[in-house]
Structure 1
Amino acid sequence: MTFSVRKYVAADRLQWNTFLSGCKNNHFMFHRDFMEYHADRFEDFSLLIVDDKNKIVSILPGNIEQHIFYSHQGLTFGGFLVDKNIHASEFIEIFELVKVFLKQQNIEKIIYKPIPNIYHQYPAQEDLYALFRSNAQLNRRDISSSILIHNAYKYSRAKRWGINKARREGVLCLEIQKPSEVWGVIREVLSEFHDANPVHNEQEIDYLKEKFPKNIKVYAAQHQGNNIAACVTFETEEVVHTQYLASSKLGRDLHALDLLIDHVILQCSTYAKILDFGISCENNGHYLNNGLINQKESFGARSIVYDLYSVDLTVIE
């Protein structure tokens, strides 16, 4: 079997999304409706790899900037998405073809963020081996914290106390259908503690929730009818990722976020295997925020890594 590489164009949209739904490491973030909500911020340069019958066997979400190919700057991660029938030796060939194709487009470097294996529906780490074969450099490694929901995770004593306190104070947890309703809490916390804004604004997150109602869920902890803590999850069939967690001053006093996280875990335990809290690193992975990771670990979470590699294409003849 022979393969070829070409750049994604708008006419490939249906084919892209159809392939995505059946590949072995699918994630809804790679659906074109999700990728294109911020199309104005990035120069899309996603790739299709097809066989000799013009059937897609792999896709690679990406963008380019200053002669660098990124997989994809607008996404948390985003490596090759691969057909289940592709063997390791064939993938190595595909990876080499992609390098040559990008080199021909005057791309000098690949910045590559593999999809963490907790998001794989079937083993899919051929890309890590191909990176090794290409003398890729590990440029960044972040620690994320995950709970195996059905594997007897344990809360710390302090966390159990916090959950009980929130209940005694009358905090109630519920699912919210319109994300922008909790954006005030999220904006407040990001501004106060990180001098930052949410990655998504109110219009964007409401749009994405409407497009992906089964994949994006929003929960609020309320006290006397007011939102005092919020959780936004990005979900696949088996993994629930807490994209946003925030608690107001009153919420922190009442330990509302402890109760809300417990509520989310219980809600998703009927269908998911893993809850992933996301990374606790700063400074390109070199600084570990111990306070942040301790909070996640007090729910029973333990570490996985999110990696970032670079491949130098200038050495290709």
Structure 2
Amino acid sequence: MENYNVIKYSSSNYDEWNKFVAESKNATFLFNRDFIDYHNNRFKDFSLLVYNKDKLVSILPANIIDNNIYSHQGLSYGGLILSFNSTFQCALASFYVILKFLFEQKINILFLKQLPKIYHLRPSDELDYLFFTLKGESYRKDVSMVIPLNTVFKLSTLRKRQLKKAHSNDLFIKLETDLTTFWNNILTPNLKKKYKTKPTHSLSEINMLREKFPNNILQYNVYYGDELLAGCTVFETDNVIHLQYIATKKEKNIGALDYLIYQLLTITYKDKDYFDFGTSMENEGKKINEGLLNWKQSFGASTLIHDFYKIDTNKFPFLKKIMI
């Protein structure tokens, strides 16, 4: 561990950081600096890079509030990002020097929001063991709904009826380059009316991100003639399709959204490993929206947990006692 050292991220590390993300075993495009930095005005960045001598071996996307560090709160997930061929010892040493560095900076708590395992390109459960060793507190678990696409998934009777209705109408799906119509005419009004909220990303932010990540952020819309009826904003990673935003016109119920999702599941993304509908959580993870949960389950999705851990930085010496 003596050859490991930590530095805070700065713009001079931009290229090195992004290259590492692209070659990691447990990272997605959300960890690219162009994605992290688009909302720098909302979060005070405290991302870290760990080196073994002069070689970058791990990174931690993070922000700071008071004397606490968080897996970057502008991202859906986080954790310690490791190189593709990283060893357990590298993860152990990296986490040791990170906690030691934070402790010396008088930072008391590290809150980590783990990357769900379906996004790993190789097994990467090192931190799960380290949390156990450090007696880390599991302070939150979010319920997400996922379909493994290499298995048979069963649609509910209602979904089958909706698909039959959709097929009896002249619907067509279009891959869009501009999200404006979906955002302004369907998604934003729906969220405002039903949940009194708005999309996490503004229209200008999501269009900017789509331009930066054209192969990862895609918009699929369903039309009946010239009328837009439903849409999905998809975040595509190497092995997972994630539905970031989903919305439909409630007043015209002819199965448009069912038609779209079924086409994505069975045709467009049939060769991916997982189809991630996302979480159904409210009240900071304390409650589950049962209606939303049931809708996702009606496509054959089942439960995946997003883990959140809380670590006292003063426990870093325990990590030196693991190996014998």
1:95 corresponds in structure 2 to 95
Distance 1:263 1:200 in 2: 25
Distance 2:283 2:39 in 1: 25
Shift of 1:209: 0.6
Distance 1:224 1:192 in 2: 26
Partner letter of residue 7 of structure 1?
A: K
Tell me the alpha carbon deviations over residues 224-261 of structure 1, each in whole angstroms, 9 at most, x when there is no partner.
Answer: 3121211001110110000001112234x222211111
Q: Which runs of 5+ in 1 are unaligned?
A: none
Shift of 1:49: 0.5
Q: Which runs of 5+ in 2 are unaligned?
A: 318-324
2:21 corresponds in structure 1 to 20
2:196 corresponds in structure 1 to 195
Partner letter of residue 208 of structure 1?
A: L
2:235 corresponds in structure 1 to 234
Distance 1:51 1:107 in 2: 23
Give the conservation status (yes or no) of the 8 Å contact 1:219–1:264: no
Secondary structure of the residue that 2:251 maps to in structure 1?
helix
Partner letter of residue 266 of structure 2?
A: L
Shift of 1:206: 0.7
Shift of 1:98: 0.5
2:187 corresponds in structure 1 to 186
Partner letter of residue 213 of structure 2?
A: F
Are 1:129 and 2:129 an aligned pair? yes
Give the conservation status (yes or no) of the 8 Å contact 2:77–2:113: yes
Distance 1:88 1:315 in 2: 19
1:143 corresponds in structure 2 to 143
Secondary structure of the residue that 2:235 maps to in structure 1?
strand
2:168 corresponds in structure 1 to 168
Partner letter of residue 18 of structure 1?
A: K
Distance 1:22 1:267 in 2: 28
TM-score, normalised on structure 2? Answer: 0.93
1:105 corresponds in structure 2 to 105
Give the conservation status (yes or no) of the 8 Å contact 1:150–1:269: no
Give the conservation status (yes or no) of the 8 Å contact 1:228–1:250: no
Give the conservation status (yes or no) of the 8 Å contact 1:237–1:271: no
Size of the aligned set, in residue pairs, is: 315
Shift of 1:275: 0.5
Secondary structure of the residue that 1:63 maps to in structure 2?
strand
2:272 corresponds in structure 1 to 272
Distance 2:218 2:157 in 1: 28
Distance 1:212 1:234 in 2: 10
2:206 corresponds in structure 1 to 205
TM-score, normalised on structure 1? Answer: 0.95
Are 1:223 and 2:224 an aligned pair? yes
Matches within 5 A, 1:254-293: 254-293=254-293
Distance 1:265 1:177 in 2: 21
Shift of 1:217: 0.8
